[in-house]
Structure 1
């Protein structure tokens, strides 16, 4: 503990947040910007949703993409390992 933490002020869905983390401040701002863009995109397609529902659906969509990317990463790692093994033969 006692590690240096950055305190970054961001705006998501017209709300101000302070995010505390060890990552580069520009990276934190970029991630917050992406979340804000996703919320806005969802809001433009589903104007009747309240903020909580927009936030939950945005989180579900982002997590879905994360899982897909992890599965693709695992598949590519396996493929790479198989290629390496075939070169050893």
Structure 2
């Protein structure tokens, strides 16, 4: 395994996954618990959808949130630049 990489076992939606990454174990625990919670919420809201479709919806929600946060961060950086120039 590459230096700095760690293995983390997570149970998400009843399945066990081994996640490999450089983030601390606590970070990976929070991520996997968040994904599990969100999948459970989607399961309650979309009773007729299978696991794959719920996973796609979760991915769409995550990317949408990421793009919104990126836009907000860029706007804040721009405001900061303007304040520095004043």
- TM-score by structure 1 length? 0.91
| CA RMSD after TM alignment | 1.2
Q: Show CA shifts across 1:4-33 (max 9, x none).
A: 321111011111001011110111111111
With over 3 angstroms needed to count, the CA separation of the structure-2 counterparts of 1:33 and 1:49, relative to structure 1, is same
SS at match of 1:23: coil
Q: Which runs of 5+ in 1 are unaligned?
A: none
Q: In terms of mean alpha carbon deviation, does 60-69 or 4-13 score higher?
A: 4-13
Q: Which runs of 5+ in 2 are unaligned?
A: none
The ranges of structure 1 where at least 4 consecutive aligned residues each deviate by more than 6 angstroms after the TM superposition are none
Counterpart CA distance in 2 for 1:52 and 1:9 is 21
Name the larger-Rg structure: 1
- TM-score by structure 2 length? 0.94
